[in-house]
Amino acid sequence: MTSYPAVRIRAGASQPPRRPDGEFFRFELIDGGGRWRVYADDRTDLVADLIPGYDTLPDDAARRVARTGALLGAQILAQARLITDLGTDDCTEEQKALLLGTRDTPPVLDEEWTAPVPLVLISGLYEPYTALPRPDGDIIWLDSDTEDSYLRALRVTGMVVLAERS
């Protein structure tokens, strides 16, 4: 199958674009805010549209690092939504500090996370990818290991909607 580059359009177009051969693209990725859509035949092209320079990275290890870094916004958004929905009234001061704290560095937990608000973390920032121990408890993991899991993490957090033509 011939590979065609991804196509990004502004939302509101009446028809999805077609490939140069006249067929529809396999994937449609829609911004969670409804501002744009990306059409592509493979996940790599979708991810490359979302992460500048992704398609020029030398190997999958470098691409995994890029996906991990790119999930930070989704992590912050998902955590904020959980805090808004569930509140922090029943959390300890330490739990509140961690939930509301910066994500400049990944949180390190000394014990299992048992707060009434789940903690949202990015898998690529913990073992086996780094020396940080992977915490246990009520944690929502955003997985950056593969392009598919990265796109799934964005979908779960509401950052994007992904449709696949069968």
65-79: average pLDDT = 95
Which tens digit of pLDDT belongs to each residue from 2-61?
678 899 998 777 788 999 999 999 999 999 888 999 999 999 999 999 999 999 999 999
Spatial contact of 51 and 31, defined as CB atoms under 8 Å apart: no
pTM: 0.89
The residue ranges of every structural domain in the chain are: 1-57+147-166, 72-143
Question: What is the model's pLDDT at position 58?
Answer: 97
Question: What is the model's pLDDT at position 14?
Answer: 73
- Tell me what percent of the residues of the chain surpass a pLDDT of 90: 86
CA separation for the pair 101, 105 (Å, rounded): 10
